[in-house]
Structure 1
Amino acid sequence: MQLLIISILLVFPTLILLRKQVLAILILSINLLSNLYFIIPFYTETSIPSTDNHFKISSINLLSSNSNRELTINYIENEDPDVLILMELTPEWLSSLEPVIGNYQYTEIVPRNDNFGIALLSKYQMKSSVDYFSLNDKPSIIGNVSGMEQEFTVVATHPVPPIGQQSFLNRNKQLSNIVKDIPRFSKNLIIAGDFNTSSFSPHFDSLLKQNLKDSRIGFGLLPTWPADHNVLQTTLDHFLVSKHLQVTKRATGPDIGSDHLPITMTIGLKTL
């Protein structure tokens, strides 16, 4: 999006100052059109199907150092998701969120003193386990959720940020290893969390080749990071879903004091 905006801003100066420089104008036009090609699908209207039931899921990167607990609690209470994912969950955060967590009967909670604590909470029956996807000591959670006559697999994950070559490789391997395990998951699959990658990365694109779709299509880019720098924001927090699932709502939440905005998605379900 930032490249598209820059291209648009450069159009008129280029036409005025370099009107005889055909090559410069051609290159700028190609750049503008190529960026439009990737962005337009996110804003193309999609028809919202008529469904009998809805399944709502929220994902929040809390930011381990965030001390503004009330904003986070208010967001969770207002959204009231059926399934809730929490990342950067520290013991202190866990204590603060106990009233909210009490609303969820089924939980898998892994608090940590670093930035990789994680939790998966469900109001529907859930069988869950912690998985490291054969890579490192950063936990992900797999939850098999039964609700509204449907079976879902929710994979909550938080790969390391690509700071340095080894971290870059570890992030890519973790996402790749999750995809390799797709055959053992339910046909109704949701992979969610802070992926620490933009959707315009080729490593993200490779995930979409596995019968998955980006839940934002038709709802906008919905950037999430950094929360307090609108112009520079990109999308690091994602919901990937099985292609046959119908996303009826997809949105980012308000600034809750974290460096990430929270995200929520609703899937429309037909009763079997």
Structure 2
Amino acid sequence: MLLITWLGSLGRFWWLFDLLAHFRLQYVLGCVAIGFTAWLCRHSRTAVFAGVSCVWNVWLIVSIPGSGFAPVEVMQAQKPLRVLTFNVLITNLQRKAVVEHVLSTDADIVCLVEVDQSWRKDLEPLYRKYPQHADGLNFGNFSVACFTRLPMERFEILDVPTLMVHLEHEGRPLTFIGAHPPRPFGEQNFHERMRHIRELAALLKPLDGEVILACDLNSTPWCEGMRLLMEQSGMAFNSVPPVWVPTWGRDGPLMIPIDHVLVKGGLMVRKREVGPDLGSDHRPVLVEITR
């Protein structure tokens, strides 16, 4: 494990190394366990190596760019924009519970991923609550739907997993994007995911004004895909709360944070909540955004 944790930092050189990068939280626990065991067995070199590896992983987790630095007292004076993103899992049997939870959050913008045509009837309460909506439900696991109470000018389905919605918020234009890149399991899927992330970054970079990206990115904050997206798009977490809290696989040992909200144009995330288990392998993420 001590070697794996360092190989995970070389994701730009090989897809398998980048896959190893996602499990930083697990590596911290593993390094602590190995270091403590080595110390008890008086293997000093192994104990030191485990300690250094643990510090490296902790640093990567707590030093995520744009996470945990904003001045809360400035933002609290403004009414926040509430945004919910949730990969509901296309085969989820708890659809009524999903819709009830979404309604209970009373979010201003809702982005649901993996809602195909079989979900349309179940989503009727959301269509009634939110008169403005945009969806592409014909793309299976890559289907995305957006529901909002903000005035909507138009929306575009730019690629199978990408939905761009042009809104107005307090007299200013606001661009909202929902997307769902493929999972990075396997070399082909990894390259497909990176291709989509590059296209997403190219789409986001020239956008002026306030922009929100909310979706299942299938990328942790410390992986190569996220680094590339943030560097090439100008998007950032700009988040007061930490963004490393797991959103996928929370019932198992491989839990990781892959559902995110990124912003630009002077927007900040002042609050972030990970929701309950609603039958999906993901958890809903609710954020409050302010200028």
TM-score in terms of structure 2 length = 0.83
* Change in CA separation of 1:55 and 1:71 when aligned onto 2, cut-off 3 Å: same
Alignment of 1:5-84 (within 5 A): 5-18=29-42, 21-41=43-63, 46-48=70-72, 49-84=75-110
Matched, 1:252 2:269: no
Query: In 2, Cα distance between the equivalents of 1:97 and 1:242?
Result: 30
Query: In 1, Cα distance between the equivalents of 2:127 and 2:245?
Result: 26
SS at match of 2:92: coil
* Change in CA separation of 1:150 and 1:203 when aligned onto 2, cut-off 3 Å: same
Matched, 1:130 2:154: no
Query: In 2, Cα distance between the equivalents of 1:243 and 1:216?
Result: 14
- How far 1:80 moved relative to its partner? 0.9
Matched, 1:265 2:287: yes
Alignment of 1:117-196 (within 5 A): 117-126=143-152, 127-132=154-159, 138-196=160-218
8 Å Cα contact 2:155-2:164 kept in structure 1: yes
Answer with 111-120 or 39-48: which moved more: 39-48
8 Å Cα contact 1:71-1:256 kept in structure 2: yes
Amino acid at match of 1:225: W
Percent identity over the alignment? 22
8 Å Cα contact 1:154-1:191 kept in structure 2: yes
Query: In 2, Cα distance between the equivalents of 1:46 and 1:131?
Result: 33
* Residue number in structure 1 paired with 2:137: 111
* Change in CA separation of 1:44 and 1:190 when aligned onto 2, cut-off 3 Å: closer
Matched residues, number: 261
Q: 1:212 aligns with which of 235, 254, 258?
A: 235
- How far 1:29 moved relative to its partner? 1.6
8 Å Cα contact 1:222-1:251 kept in structure 2: no
SS at match of 1:200: coil
Query: In 2, Cα distance between the equivalents of 1:119 and 1:44?
Result: 29
Q: 1:228 aligns with which of 235, 242, 251?
A: 251
Query: In 2, Cα distance between the equivalents of 1:218 and 1:14?
Result: 35
* Structure 1 unaligned blocks of 5 or more: 133-137
SS at match of 1:254: coil
8 Å Cα contact 1:153-1:188 kept in structure 2: yes
* Change in CA separation of 1:162 and 1:12 when aligned onto 2, cut-off 3 Å: closer
Query: In 2, Cα distance between the equivalents of 1:12 and 1:90?
Result: 49
Amino acid at match of 1:223: P
SS at match of 1:66: coil
* Residue number in structure 2 paired with 1:200: 222
* Residue number in structure 2 paired with 1:93: 119
SS at match of 2:101: helix
Q: Deviations over 1:123-152 (max 9, x none)?
A: 1112211111xxxxx231001110122322
- How far 1:60 moved relative to its partner? 1.2
TM-score in terms of structure 1 length = 0.88
SS at match of 1:179: helix
- How far 1:36 moved relative to its partner? 1.2
Task: Tell me how large the CA RMSD over aligned residues is.
Answer: 2.0
